[in-house]
A = this chain, B = another copy of it.
Amino acid sequence: MSIETVPKTSRAAVLTAHGEPLEIRELPIPTELEPGALLVKIEAATVCGSDLHLWDGSLAGSQALSLPVIPGHEMVGSVVRIGEGAERDTFGQPLRAGDRICFTHASCNQCEHCRLDNQPTLCANRQYYMFTSCAEAPYLVGGFAEYCYVFPNSGRVKVPDEVPTEWASAASCALRTVVHSFDRIGRLNPWETVVIQGSGPLGLFATALADHLGAERVITIGAPEDRLKIATSFGATDIVSIADAPEPRDRIDAVRGLLGGRGADVVFEFSGARTAFTEGLGMIKEGGRYMVTGQIDGPGKEVPVRPGFITRQQLTIMGTWSGHIAEYRKALQFMRNTRRRYDFGTLVPHRYPLEQATEALTRMRAQQDIKPVLVPHATAAQVST
């Protein structure tokens, strides 16, 4: 079912070589959809740290990719074509022309992780946006483009009317990952203390969520100053600035100082920093919980750990990455419910047209922008308003 007039081609910002500027190309828009697939117009594509790492080639697996690819996996699309059997979102809501949706990478729905464990993010057969060559059909499989093909197996959820498009885009990777981490670490009680390592988008979303869940203390560690201000506005009871505490030992001391010499009940790692893991272990209370989300795996990524410390302190250490469609929905519900309390617009302040995609990446890398928003259908003049 084709719903509105769709052109034959779509512009896309394409990665042809790691570290090089993205190229604007015209790619075919597929006219045939597989059963279950959708075609969407990208309303906004926010930039995630993984896009940066894909760009510079440091992301695990990115060196083995068959280029060119279209970066971007955190985006909101509005429905323009609907494949057979795709008339509803994953939760049964009818989809119509123009409905805004968020959608997941495509797990296989057939392996043990998809079916038995209810952990589709562990699916070994997952098809990823931004990791699939755009040289072959269906071509448009990344967010930095005017249109995007939604895989049949991609979970999809309608964006609630009350949630702005840019917010929803940020929910579709950053916030849903945070929600997944909180889901897995278990219940947070209002008499528990929380440390959030990192003041990037994940750390800031996590600060808001920990605040909303009523934690007794929420200590956010990060830099630079403007992000720490956002953390405070999101409910951090305390801030540890990396500028003031440049060494891991300083930050451990700062956290323990705030907690009367004790560690925190729960620590979340969202910084991705090399030393963060051992640092975080130093901040946990005996019997505490550590959720490791920001770390990237790969050769040469070892840090020293004392297993006996885990034993003797009776720690619980967990890892989480990505998210599945239930978490997208929960993330959007959280945004809708708390939109008057937390101004998530502060995380997505700047908009860029497609041809400034490279600039968006560059400014994000330089920490001049927290989470740039690509608006592929806008002109430079429009976004600068």
- Footprint of B on A, CB under 8 Å? 35, 60, 88-92, 108, 110-113, 115-119, 121-122, 155, 184, 186-187, 189-191, 209, 212-214, 216, 269, 276-277, 286-287, 292-298, 301-321, 325-326, 329-330, 333-334, 337-338
Is the Cβ of B304 less than 8 Å from the Cβ of A292? no
Least CB distance from A217 to B in Å reads 9
Least CB distance from A189 to B in Å reads 7
| Inter-chain contacts of A214 with B (CB < 8 A) | 212-214, 337-338
Is the Cβ of B297 less than 8 Å from the Cβ of A312? yes
A-B contact pairs, 22 of them (CB 8 A): A88-B110, A89-B110, A91-B110, A113-B287, A115-B155, A117-B287, A122-B286, A191-B329, A213-B214, A216-B337, A292-B307, A293-B311, A295-B311, A296-B311, A297-B312, A301-B306, A304-B304, A310-B318, A310-B319, A311-B319, A315-B317, A316-B317
A88 to B184, CA, bound (A): 30
Is the Cβ of B305 less than 8 Å from the Cβ of A305? yes
Residue of B92, B184, B189, B296 near A108 (CB, 8 A) is B92
Is the Cβ of A191 less than 8 Å from the Cβ of B334? yes
Least CB distance from A103 to B in Å reads 14
Closest B residue to A212 by beta carbon equals: B214
In order of increasing CB-CB distance, the 3 nearest A-B pairs are A297-B308, A302-B304, A310-B319
